[in-house]
A and B are shown apart, each in its own frame.
Chain A
């Protein structure tokens, strides 16, 4: 480990390729934390957006007209406005209206921090797409299957949970994968409201160490690697969930 970091230090001195994140303990620690923050942010938003998608798709199948209208209004609003503007709207506009409270050092602080707003806005953004995706999956479930479940005495919720959703999940998994990959890419926007995720940390490091090209390249490959991993896992999952006779 020490030799590797020494090698990178020598590399920086001889060739000018200055990867401080390998040999400088402070930068390394920052970068690792940024990396895990990105994973944490993506993970939380992933789960919340899927929850929003499932609940929203269920509400959209409701028999009440206004429930359906509100859900589709939410979808259209969040699909057709830029995620960055949504984030700014949440953080700067709504965040300014939130009540403040004292933190442990006695400083007045808004109840919801930039972390919370990033999670909220990203989840709502990805959730809007997920509702549509789940709805298309639900529509693909044969009506006879639902009717059979109903005739066996399932309530609407039970039939949704035990019959429709497991089948719909398999149908919409490819589209869901795409959207989740998109969500992980969109977490970079949290940079704009100073959430210390990978892009933000990289920016700090290149401001301190003046190694913009190296950090940029590292960042690009780190994201592509992270997303390749996600795509691989999701494809494995997709294959393991496949039911004979469903999908192609």
Chain B
């Protein structure tokens, strides 16, 4: 990839402002070591507009109702700590599931390119099985078929439902990471394997010291994409009774029992996820463009 050097000085004064900005941006990116995340003013405006329209609608509804009761915003404000706490829990679940899924999935993906045939085919089977099973069904599976506590050597280890949810979500993540790793390993030109072999590297050395370090770059965009999908899937845990943001929203709505709160509360949950996942999606796109092999 050739990187043109951008200077702040040019003979054409018309180009200067953009060139300045580009140079500053390139400098910042060099400093960061990657493309910087940029949410432009336009995105902010769009979000602000969305909220304004929504607020307007809510305001209109409230005045029509004509009763004395806390406004929609007051109600939302009142429940905000609960909902945000729930959302943080969601994020926590997603990070833990991603961690477990990445570690096991990488191992499974490496096994998928193993020289030993039974190992290769069985890891392929496991990957395909968990990739093709619906997330919700896997979650149900873990939820209902795992004990709520383990007794090891007389010590009782509790196994709360959120741990089971983490495992249930980690299984499909594992299968997807496995495919990502396999795809990345196979996308490295086979000439590199041969070159490394001719330099007397062992298979293990080739894999861990030559192939995998190159794979990291290629795996990053799909891995981040998967993380966004996983974050959105954490809501599924509400179906099996983990008290994350969706469960808490429904409880809050049940406690308030007001129909005019339905749209704002569910909309707020959507907004939370959007605000968390959209930057990830944008950044993934940027990385994909940057690492695209032409």
Contacts and interface: CB of A to CB of B under 8 A. Distances in A.
Nearest to B42: A69
Interface string A55-85: 0000000000000000001001101111111
B79 interface: no
A165 B115 CA distance: 42
A76 B42 CA distance: 14
Interface stretch (A150-158, A167-175, A185-193): A185-193
B84 to A, nearest CB: 15
Interface residues of A, number: 37
B141 to A, nearest CB: 5
Interface in B73-130: 129
B188 interface: no
A208 B233 CA distance: 28
A73 B274 contact: no
Given A84-B236, A85-B246, A228 B269 contact: no
Contact of A85 (B136, B145, B273): B273
B144 A188 contact: no
B278 to A, nearest CB: 5
Interface residues of B, number: 36
B285 to A, nearest CB: 11
Contacts of B232: 80-83
A81 B262 contact: no
B163 interface: no
Interface string B220-234: 000000001001111
Given A216-B137, A220-B137, A224-B129, 19 more contacts: A76-B274, A79-B281, A80-B228, A81-B270, A82-B231, A82-B232, A82-B273, A84-B236, A85-B246, A88-B246, A88-B269, A93-B265, A96-B262, A186-B134, A187-B134, A188-B134, A189-B236, A213-B145, A219-B140
Interface of B: 46, 129, 132-138, 140-141, 144-145, 228, 231-236, 238-239, 246, 259, 262-263, 265-267, 269-270, 273-274, 277-278, 281
Interface of A: 73, 76-77, 79-86, 88-89, 92-94, 96-97, 181, 185-189, 191-192, 199, 212-213, 216, 219-220, 223-224, 227-228, 231
16 contacts: A73-B46, A77-B270, A89-B263, A93-B267, A94-B263, A185-B134, A185-B135, A188-B134, A188-B135, A191-B136, A199-B136, A199-B137, A220-B133, A223-B134, A223-B137, A228-B132
